[in-house]
Structure 1
Amino acid sequence: MNNNAIEKLQYNEIKEMLKSFCVSGLGKNLIDKLTPESNMKIVKTRLQETSEGRNILDIYSYVPLEGISNINKFIEKIEKGMVLECDELNSFSDFFRGCTKIKQFMINKEDLAPLLSSYSNSIVDFKSIEDEINLSIKGNRVDSSASKELKRIRRLIDVTEEKIEEKLSKFLKNDSNKKYIQEFFISKRNGRYTIPIKSSYKNFVEGSIVESSSKGTTIFMEPKAIGKLSQELIVLKSDEAIEEYQILATLTGIILEKIKDIKINKELIAQYDMIFSKAKYSKSIKGIEPKINNYGYIKLIKCKHPLLRGNVVPLDFEVGDNYRTLIITGPNAGGKTVVLKTLGLLTLLVQSGIHIEGEKGSEIAIFDKIFVDIGDDQSLENALSTFSSHMKNLSAIMKESNRNTLLLFDEIGSGTEPSEGAALAISILEEFYHMGCITVATTHYGEIKRFSEKHSDFENAAMKFNKETLEPLYKLVIGKAGNSNAIWISRKMGISEKVLERAQNYMKKREYNFNLVKESKVKKASFDEQETNKENFYEYKKGDKVLLLDYNYSGIVYEEIDENNNLKIFVNNDILEVNYKRIKLEIKASNLYPEDYDLNTIFQEYKERKLEKDIKRGSKKALKKIQKEIKKHYI
């Protein structure tokens, strides 16, 4: 299934909800791998499993799946030739006990859940291995009863430890030793029995130093009197470890011999956990199993989007029977996009064997592919890029679609010039229609609505809104295009009826009024205002120093005002063309230069530099000017 559709329709959020109903990591791992299925037979089986699980939960409040451990990593360890620890063997014991419980629970549920009950027949009973583990392991420790040899070794260990403690007690009670002893108790350090001795007397006591205190004031010594017994204890402890390892290895080997059947049990238990998580989810939403088909017909009766909260308006919807393409119109924030997402997500869920919230009689088609083009982040600033990304997405969808494809398009053709966008959208919808796709699209374009009205296999639908309060009702009405909500809203906001009627006429006929405003409506300047304007207007002369208002620095008038009311201003060795309203006189030329001063000398350097620059770039005009000067000089 298309990953973009999975993400846009929030399919994975439903999977997270399902995982919360699981009781083991086995079921959660299976849900992580869950994807919508397009095979009709598999979808039917998945839905039947969920429905049978729901039947059981409706009668029994408890399904004995609790306590089942995720044994995947322990199976991997065994297959690598490693020996399991006590706690890992206990996990297998818990798993075997859980298998037995669920087998016993399901075996007499044929009437309620024939399919789920039949799965229990494949569960293998490992009661003997479970008992063997429980006999040998007690409280994450190999029990003495696990073998006669282990029991013998541990008895000898107990006897040896008693002898050591007896000798050490005598050492502590001996008056001649009291001055050496820091504290009068037996301390076990690094598995060896010691007495705390004052560090200053360490050379006065025969024995081995095992450890010293952090401050160095106390030395923990193993007296010579227990040296032989300590060596015996070390050997016995080694024998104990070897025997424990052999017992753990034997238990691990027993499990390895049955690893194939254990894996089958594991898969069955994981399936049960996932199926009952779907059933628990169904019960929590009062879900139903809809009818399914493979020919593109969808009918939703009072269905709801599973992620919406609060007072959600249920959706009634139909496509794929009398029409194969549905065009939805309506106000912004009126629920058009929610319709698309509800339809898409419910289809994905059903193809995953998950119940939906709705009423009996609802029907979902099983599709090979589902594609969506839903843009949630549109803005004026990125309108072009939004349109481009939509077109790129639609192009990719067109290459991959087939006759068993569901298409969900939000605001198709938007993000560009309306008439061009509408024409393009119609052509795209038409192409998908002839490919055999089932298409649901939202739009604001009236041209698309009109096309849909005329096409026998297209249908219009509208999102209703309250004309009095101007609030959306989030209800879809199939069979009619949306009214002009803009006209209704404008009327409620007080726009005159004459203006609204003219707007409606423009919408229908596309014939506009180009009459000019009446002379009586145009305010003219009075005689006094005209005289004042004449007085205020200054005719700038070449050489005048002016302030450029937009840049806040000065320049010299190079060419006087032209027919467009623009002047050329010499600024920073360059010429700028500026409207006379964007400059302000600073000093008149007559006040800057002497009478009969040649103003052309001011700009001579600029003209020469400009000519040189034009020659370098190969300007034909500059070359002609030079040729003209040469002829003038020699003729």
Structure 2
Amino acid sequence: MDEKVLQRLDYDKVKQNVMEYAASYLGKQHVERMQPMDQWQRVRQALNETAEAKAMLEQGASVPIPSLEGIDKVLSLLDTGYVYTEHDFANIQQFLYSCIQLKKYMAAKSSIAPTVSSLASSMHELAKLKTEIERCVHGGRVRDEASKDLSRIRKKAAVVEGKIKDKIESLMSRYRNIMQENLVSLRNGRYVLPIKKEHRKLIKGSVLDESASGQTVYVEPQDVAHLQFDLNEMRVEESREEAKVLSYLTTLVEEGEPELRMNVETVGVYDYLFAKAKYAVAIGGRNVEINGEGRIHIRGAVHPLLGRNTVPLHFSIGDKYKSLIITGPNTGGKTVALKTVGLLTLMVQSGLLVPAEQGSVFAVFRNIAADIGDGQSIEQSLSTFSSHIRNVIDMLSYADGSTLILIDEMASGTDPGEGIGLSIAVLEELHRRGATVIVTTHYNEIKNFAAVTPGFENARMEFDEETLQPLYRLKIGEAGRSYAFLIALKLGISPDIIRRSQQITEASRREYGGAAPAATEAVERAGIDLPPQQATIEPADTSSPPRQTAVEPADIDSPPQQTAVEPPSPVRPASAPAVHAAADPEEGEALARKRLKVGDNVYISYLQRNGIVYEAEDARGNVGVLIQQQKFKINHKRLSLYIDGKELYPEDYDLDIVFETKENRKKKEADGPQACGRMRNRNGFRELNHLW
């Protein structure tokens, strides 16, 4: 996957944390090379292995992972002609001993961790090599028993060395008065006596050295010189024999190279595996279910870099909708939610257990794309918007049904009108390709689009209006708002400025076809009497709680039902271009004078949808429109007449069939049957399904 995407989602920081738990150079290499996998079977296996390793750790036992100290040097010098030293063989011996201990340990854990324990079965004991090293080397020295010749030479050397010591002790007694100190020294491996310089001529022998002050000379007595010559000859012979032993052991190591490398590789895998398991214990990671269909259902998840004290995230996508639009105030947690889903997905696909509740479900994606952060580049002279667009272009080059798209602050960095239109077009294209899309935004137009478009859903980050504190809880199914006016008001900004801000905002939103009645509601609840103003679109149920979003179904007797057949695309007026612009102002004024009637089929330009008028225009210029079985209030300036209601229904037609639920119609039929209207509808009048 793209390295930039991994960095945006903090994947490299997670890798660094995992690496801290690896003990060997090879385990750290495995962590460094760790990458998300896109094959379902491999991901499942990796997760299960990490879960087994975690279960072993939770039993409290210390897993005896062999140390690889010095083994990298051994492997690097194989077949180079290098003869290993006694220290090298000590490392090899300890490594082989630890491998045997690990095999025994894993054999005892086969019932708890069958997959993890089975890895040890590939390890080799290299019994001959281990036995020969033990026989030949001990304590960093070649043993006498390593060869018969070596044993014979050392015995002879010991005899000669004994004679030298006896002779030296005799000489020390004779020359005690002229010695600087009463001890024997060694110079270049030869025994010498420390004689006062002025008495040098009183002892026969060779001066091999003198002190720094020049007051002492070190004399090799003539009586021991020939013995020391014999001893040095024996030491040379001893060294040659030791080299033969070390060469023999080196040959055994080279013969066992494949098995030795297999053991080292297995130890590296174990170190890597238990590093992941230790990290899982540290963050409270759990195993999860996975699928290849793009379904994500996360329960109680937290971002691993933020700690367990953060508010858990509950998140779902991939069943009824594959595109989720997250809204809410700044610092409300939208970006954290986005990055949490992305990072946990990367972790799962890397075989890492994630901090989420049992039963959480993750999808395995072939591609994961993220546009998070402003992305502005001084070096490349790219604006924020240019950077976003380049990221989007890159996404569109590979987006498909196995792609997760994460976009933060969509439509930001450019003109709102054009940015919103471009964003909706991009969302439509990504949805058409089957990608799983999660975006954050502040724009009502994108929320409105998601509210009426199949396959899309809104979500909001909850916010405490009293304390002005974000709650960091994601609520799917509702659009949020920025709370800018409410926050500014409670922080002490002048009500006059709030009032003027509201007027400017509403004018701007009408220009771009958007709406924000929620902002008005928040200010009104705060006690500011703003002048009357028109909202371009608002919930049909005006008595709904103030926390509801700007686009919300009307409160009807039963939940709205989806249409039985979902058409491939919205119907547009015959005269309208393929991409609609806002309704012409003169046309809007004409409609206002003419007044749309209940039953008229209208076209909503910025949503690119048709609807049926269920409630005539009110004093504020808002018209009740039924769009895909959901009721909305939309300003008349945003509507254009598509088919006059007279062409659809006779004068006595019962429009409750269109606007009321089946249960409500049954209640009304009990008071007065409307069979005639229904029969005429079935026998000759136009059906409405094709208009959606």
Q: 3-state SS of the aligned residue for 2:152?
A: helix
Match of 2:38 in 1: 38
Map 1:582-593 → 2, pairs under 5 A: none
Task: Verify the 8 A CA contact 2:18 2:31 in the aligned structure 1.
Answer: yes
Map 1:324-343 → 2, pairs under 5 A: 324-343=322-341
In structure 2, the CA distance between the partners of 1:428 and 1:214, relative to structure 1 (3 Å rule), is farther
Q: CA deviation at 1:439?
A: 1.7
Task: Verify the 8 A CA contact 1:383 1:416 in the aligned structure 2.
Answer: no
Q: 3-state SS of the aligned residue for 2:354?
A: coil
Task: Supply the distance in 2 between the matched residues of 1:189 and 1:12 (Cα, whole angstroms).
Answer: 57
Match of 2:278 in 1: 280
Map 1:192-271 → 2, pairs under 5 A: 192-202=190-200, 205-271=203-269
Task: Supply the distance in 2 between the matched residues of 1:70 and 1:296 (Cα, whole angstroms).
Answer: 46
Q: CA deviation at 1:200?
A: 4.3
Task: Verify the 8 A CA contact 2:329 2:482 in the aligned structure 1.
Answer: no
Map 1:576-615 → 2, pairs under 5 A: none
Letter in 1 for 2:35: T
Cα deviation 1:68-112 (Å, max 9, x = unaligned): 546222111123231111222121112111211121122243332
Letter in 2 for 1:12: D
Match of 1:141 in 2: 141
In structure 2, the CA distance between the partners of 1:243 and 1:401, relative to structure 1 (3 Å rule), is farther
Q: 3-state SS of the aligned residue for 2:319?
A: coil
Q: CA deviation at 1:315?
A: 0.5
Match of 2:630 in 1: none
Task: Verify the 8 A CA contact 2:374 2:384 in the aligned structure 1.
Answer: no
Does 2:28 match 1:28? yes
Cα deviation 1:426-449 (Å, max 9, x = unaligned): 233333333332221112222222
Q: CA deviation at 1:293?
A: 1.0
Task: Supply the distance in 2 between the matched residues of 1:246 and 1:403 (Cα, whole angstroms).
Answer: 66
Task: Supply the distance in 2 between the matched residues of 1:246 and 1:372 (Cα, whole angstroms).
Answer: 62
Map 1:483-562 → 2, pairs under 5 A: 483-492=481-490, 493=492, 495=495, 499=500, 502=503, 505-506=506-507, 509-510=510-511
Task: Supply the distance in 1 between the matched residues of 2:310 and 2:381 (Cα, whole angstroms).
Answer: 32
Q: 3-state SS of the aligned residue for 2:383?
A: helix
Q: 3-state SS of the aligned residue for 1:483?
A: coil
In structure 2, the CA distance between the partners of 1:84 and 1:481, relative to structure 1 (3 Å rule), is same
Task: Supply the distance in 2 between the matched residues of 1:167 and 1:366 (Cα, whole angstroms).
Answer: 83
Q: CA deviation at 1:357?
A: 0.9
Match of 1:418 in 2: 416
In structure 2, the CA distance between the partners of 1:482 and 1:134, relative to structure 1 (3 Å rule), is same
Cα deviation 1:377-405 (Å, max 9, x = unaligned): 7799x996333333333333333444322
Task: Supply the distance in 2 between the matched residues of 1:158 and 1:79 (Cα, whole angstroms).
Answer: 36
Task: Supply the distance in 2 between the matched residues of 1:169 and 1:384 (Cα, whole angstroms).
Answer: 88
Out of 348, 368, 375, the residue aligned to residue 370 of structure 1 is 368
Q: CA deviation at 1:6?
A: 1.9
Q: CA deviation at 1:269?
A: 1.9
Task: Supply the distance in 1 between the matched residues of 2:364 and 2:90 (Cα, whole angstroms).
Answer: 44
Task: Supply the distance in 2 between the matched residues of 1:256 and 1:501 (Cα, whole angstroms).
Answer: 82
Map 1:369-388 → 2, pairs under 5 A: 369-375=367-373, 385-388=383-386
> Normalised by the size of structure 1, how large is the TM-score?
0.75
With 310-319 and 144-153 compared, the bigger mean Cα shift is at: 144-153
Task: Verify the 8 A CA contact 2:365 2:403 in the aligned structure 1.
Answer: yes
Q: 3-state SS of the aligned residue for 1:326?
A: strand
Task: Verify the 8 A CA contact 1:23 1:66 in the aligned structure 2.
Answer: no
Task: Supply the distance in 2 between the matched residues of 1:428 and 1:275 (Cα, whole angstroms).
Answer: 41
Task: Verify the 8 A CA contact 2:66 2:102 in the aligned structure 1.
Answer: no
Task: Supply the distance in 2 between the matched residues of 1:60 and 1:366 (Cα, whole angstroms).
Answer: 32
Q: 3-state SS of the aligned residue for 1:266?
A: helix
Task: Supply the distance in 1 between the matched residues of 2:312 and 2:508 (Cα, whole angstroms).
Answer: 33
Q: CA deviation at 1:342?
A: 0.9
Task: Supply the distance in 1 between the matched residues of 2:512 and 2:173 (Cα, whole angstroms).
Answer: 120
Does 2:344 match 1:346? yes
With 387-396 and 160-169 compared, the bigger mean Cα shift is at: 387-396
Match of 2:115 in 1: 115
Task: Verify the 8 A CA contact 1:25 1:70 in the aligned structure 2.
Answer: no
Q: 3-state SS of the aligned residue for 1:155?
A: helix
Task: Supply the distance in 2 between the matched residues of 1:312 and 1:444 (Cα, whole angstroms).
Answer: 24
Does 2:106 match 1:106? yes
Out of 393, 398, 410, the residue aligned to residue 395 of structure 1 is 393
Q: 3-state SS of the aligned residue for 1:107?
A: helix
Out of 381, 401, 404, the residue aligned to residue 402 of structure 2 is 404
Task: Supply the distance in 2 between the matched residues of 1:333 and 1:491 (Cα, whole angstroms).
Answer: 18
Letter in 2 for 1:509: R
Q: CA deviation at 1:202?
A: 4.3
Cα deviation 1:293-344 (Å, max 9, x = unaligned): 1121211111111111362100111122222222211111111111121111
Match of 1:63 in 2: 63
Does 2:11 match 1:2? no
Task: Supply the distance in 2 between the matched residues of 1:51 and 1:511 (Cα, whole angstroms).
Answer: 52
Match of 1:470 in 2: 468
Task: Verify the 8 A CA contact 2:311 2:473 in the aligned structure 1.
Answer: yes
Q: 3-state SS of the aligned residue for 1:184?
A: coil
Letter in 2 for 1:119: L
- Across the two proteins, how many residue pairs are aligned to each other? 510
**Percent of pairs with identical residues:** 38
In structure 2, the CA distance between the partners of 1:200 and 1:389, relative to structure 1 (3 Å rule), is farther
Task: Supply the distance in 1 between the matched residues of 2:209 and 2:391 (Cα, whole angstroms).
Answer: 73
Q: CA deviation at 1:471?
A: 0.8
Letter in 1 for 2:510: K
Task: Supply the distance in 2 between the matched residues of 1:440 and 1:21 (Cα, whole angstroms).
Answer: 33
Cα deviation 1:223-274 (Å, max 9, x = unaligned): 2222211111111111121122221221221121111012112222222222
Match of 1:430 in 2: 428
With 216-225 and 360-369 compared, the bigger mean Cα shift is at: 216-225
Task: Supply the distance in 2 between the matched residues of 1:228 and 1:379 (Cα, whole angstroms).
Answer: 82
With 209-218 and 366-375 compared, the bigger mean Cα shift is at: 209-218
Match of 1:293 in 2: 291
Task: Supply the distance in 2 between the matched residues of 1:344 and 1:287 (Cα, whole angstroms).
Answer: 16
Task: Supply the distance in 1 between the matched residues of 2:359 and 2:499 (Cα, whole angstroms).
Answer: 49
Task: Supply the distance in 1 between the matched residues of 2:233 and 2:340 (Cα, whole angstroms).
Answer: 72
Q: CA deviation at 1:139?
A: 1.8
Q: CA deviation at 1:350?
A: 0.7
Rg (Cα) greater in structure: 1
> Normalised by the size of structure 2, how large is the TM-score?
0.69
Q: Which runs of 5+ in 1 are unaligned?
A: 513-635
Q: CA deviation at 1:66?
A: 5.3
With 152-161 and 339-348 compared, the bigger mean Cα shift is at: 152-161
Match of 1:620 in 2: none
In structure 2, the CA distance between the partners of 1:413 and 1:189, relative to structure 1 (3 Å rule), is farther
Q: CA deviation at 1:499?
A: 4.9
Q: 3-state SS of the aligned residue for 1:196?
A: strand
With 500-509 and 436-445 compared, the bigger mean Cα shift is at: 500-509
In structure 2, the CA distance between the partners of 1:209 and 1:413, relative to structure 1 (3 Å rule), is farther
Q: CA deviation at 1:197?
A: 2.6
Q: CA deviation at 1:25?
A: 3.1
With 267-276 and 335-344 compared, the bigger mean Cα shift is at: 267-276
Task: Supply the distance in 2 between the matched residues of 1:315 and 1:399 (Cα, whole angstroms).
Answer: 31
Cα RMSD after superposing both structures:
2.7
Cα deviation 1:508-529 (Å, max 9, x = unaligned): 53499xxxxxxxxxxxxxxxxx
Task: Verify the 8 A CA contact 2:126 2:259 in the aligned structure 1.
Answer: no
Q: 3-state SS of the aligned residue for 2:474?
A: strand
Task: Supply the distance in 2 between the matched residues of 1:189 and 1:248 (Cα, whole angstroms).
Answer: 28
Match of 2:18 in 1: 18
Task: Supply the distance in 2 between the matched residues of 1:368 and 1:148 (Cα, whole angstroms).
Answer: 65
Task: Supply the distance in 1 between the matched residues of 2:446 and 2:97 (Cα, whole angstroms).
Answer: 64
Match of 1:577 in 2: none
Task: Verify the 8 A CA contact 1:383 1:415 in the aligned structure 2.
Answer: no
Match of 2:167 in 1: 167
Task: Verify the 8 A CA contact 1:78 1:84 in the aligned structure 2.
Answer: no
Task: Supply the distance in 2 between the matched residues of 1:384 and 1:420 (Cα, whole angstroms).
Answer: 19
Task: Verify the 8 A CA contact 1:68 1:94 in the aligned structure 2.
Answer: no
